[in-house]
Amino acid sequence: MTFAAVDVIAHKRDRKALSDDEIAWVIDAYTRGAVADEQMSALLMAILLNGMDRREIASWTAAMIASGERMSFAGLSRGTTDKHSTGGVGDKITLPLAPLVAACGLAVPQLSGRGLGHTGGTLDKLESIPGWRAALSNDEMVAQLESVGAVICAAGSGLAPADRKLYALRDVTGTVESVPLIASSIMSKKIAEGTAALVLDVKVGTGAFMKSLDDARELARTMVDLGQDAGVTTVALLTDMSTPLGLTAGNALEVAESVEVLAGGGPPDVVELTLALAREMLDAGGKPDADPEQALRDGAAMDTWRAMIRAQGGDPDAPLATARETHTVRVPSDGPSGGVLTRLDAMAVGVAAWRLGAGRARKEDPVQAGAGVVLHAKPGDQVAAGQPLFTLHTDTPERFDAALQALDGGFDIVDGGSVLFGDLVIDRIA
């Protein structure tokens, strides 16, 4: 059926539900260029303001999937499971998680993205490993899943091309913050990817896209419903992103920390979340009795990591990039002699890492492999005057001032203070 774009816009403007036919037509027509950017921008704004019901969101998602190819892993000798994070600061969990789950017997086809703004990108992190490549053909991806069990790569251009076009438009029209549009963007790619099971890590807090627990729950519920309706076993964890994960935010810095986790060490919060997500992925993928802790202890996860990096052209033994310049931020010595670090804002650290060169303002911007922030203390730690709090890393020292401005006011040190710790995993939606 053919519709007039202005009629579809007017229906949603007037708070009417769009029909399945209207949705299928407008997504297809926009992907083909028959609906103009300014028309789709108006429709996206109407959706942001007036919302969509469950049927509309499912139909919108299905139309985006139908705009491109669908992958299939039916021929693999093991079941598939995947994970998606809504993004945070220091969120390097995909790096140890994919080989860990693969070492426990499932195949992990992890299609990942690049960083934009204060949230880091998994592909940017892995590209700090000499020789590693993000672009794989579908055949290469399937072959690596069979031989290694895990692959982390970029999504091919044929996967949900409507989403790629819509995402760019949302970014420049102020329509990013719409739960139906966020959920359909994420789930169209994940369903088209063809995995049998999916675990969602929905971040909530100052460093997350969703600042409130209610908004995060709504997004998680919407995505779980979309996955289940499409026949994908889907579960979501709501996880705290008020403080950065681990002790690093950057690219090579986070790779090094991920390798520490695979070696049986690493920061406790990174290990905790990696294991929590691994257990969910293994359960959803039909391996509930597998022991991911054992796979970390006995080196099986590390072996899979090394094989995964080699399979994509990388050298797991090569030195990682290091920044040419560093600057240390210390506990102020012009006030109290020290105290307890009671708050460390994830957004402040994320913006600082971005300004140092670890992230990008536009998709075409380059990133520095060695740039970022190393944390020397986390909330609850006792710190003394003059003690290092952060070390800033960059190749371009003129960036230090902007990074320091981002960190200003981003932490509190209280003499005799204390911290009431909440759970890292806040809730589970299934």
Quick one: pLDDT band at residue 335, thresholds 50, 70, 90?
A: low
Q: How large is the average pLDDT for residues 324-338? A: 87
**Rounded distance, CA 283 to CA 280, Å?**
5
Q: What is the pLDDT of residues 211-244, one digit of tens each?
A: 999 999 999 999 999 999 999 999 999 999 999 9
Give the separation between CA 336 and CA 320, rounded to whole angstroms: 38
Amino acid at 300: A
The pLDDT of 61-86, averaged and rounded, is 95
Q: What SS3 state is found at 314?
A: coil
The domains found in the chain, sorted by start residue, are: 5-51 (1.20.970.10), 82-180+192-311 (3.40.1030.10), 325-414 (3.90.1170.30)
- Contact assessment for residue 201 and residue 388, using Cβ atoms and an 8 Å cutoff: no
The answer on pLDDT for 117 being more than 80 is no
Q: Tell me: the pLDDT tens digits for 285-322?
A: 999 999 999 999 999 999 999 999 999 999 999 999 99
Residue 118: the pLDDT is: 77
pLDDT in tens, 157-183: 788 999 989 988 998 898 988 999 999
| Percent with pLDDT over 70 in the chain | 99
pLDDT at 87 over 70: yes
Over range 8-16, report the average pLDDT: 98
Closest CA to 278 of 144, 79, 81, 76: 81
| CB burial string 346-361: b at 16+ within 10 A, e below | bbbbbbbbbbbbbbbe
Residue 70, both tokens: 């669908």
Give the full edge-to-edge strand order of the sheet including 325-330: 248-250, 372-375, 388-394, 325-330
CA 96 to chain CA centroid, nearest Å: 14
Residue whose structure tokens are 């303001």 = 49
Predicted confidence (pLDDT) per residue in 34-58, tens digit: 999 999 999 999 999 999 999 999 9
pLDDT confidence of residue 333: 82
Average pLDDT score over residue span 239-250: 97
**In the chain, what percentage of residues exceed pLDDT 90?**
88
Three-state SS for 284? helix
3-state DSSP percent of the chain in helix, strand and coil, to 5 = 45, 15, 40
- Please state, in angstroms and as integers, the Cα–Cα distance from residue 293 to each residue in 1, 276, 342, following that order: 54, 10, 30
- Residue type, position 371, single letter: A
Helix (H, G, I), strand (E, B) or coil at 341: strand
Average pLDDT, the chain: 95
How much is the pLDDT for 362?
75
Q: How many angstroms separate the CA atoms of 37 and 60, rounded? A: 17
The strand pair at 372-375 and 411-414 is best described as: unpaired
Q: Taking a C-beta distance cutoff of 8 angstroms, is the pair 384, 409 a contact?
A: no
Q: Give catalytic residues, as residue numbers.
A: 84, 163, 170, 185, 189
The Cα 77–Cα 105 span in angstroms is 10
Q: What is the model's pLDDT at position 332?
A: 87
Q: Worst-scoring range by mean pLDDT, 53-57, 78-82, 207-211, 259-263?
A: 207-211
Digit-coded pLDDT (tens) for 371-417:
999 999 999 999 999 999 999 999 999 999 999 999 999 999 998 88
Q: How far is CA 68 from CA 28, 31, 191, 195, 361, in A?
A: 10, 10, 12, 16, 28
Residue whose pair of structure tokens reads 């190393």 in the numeric block: 374
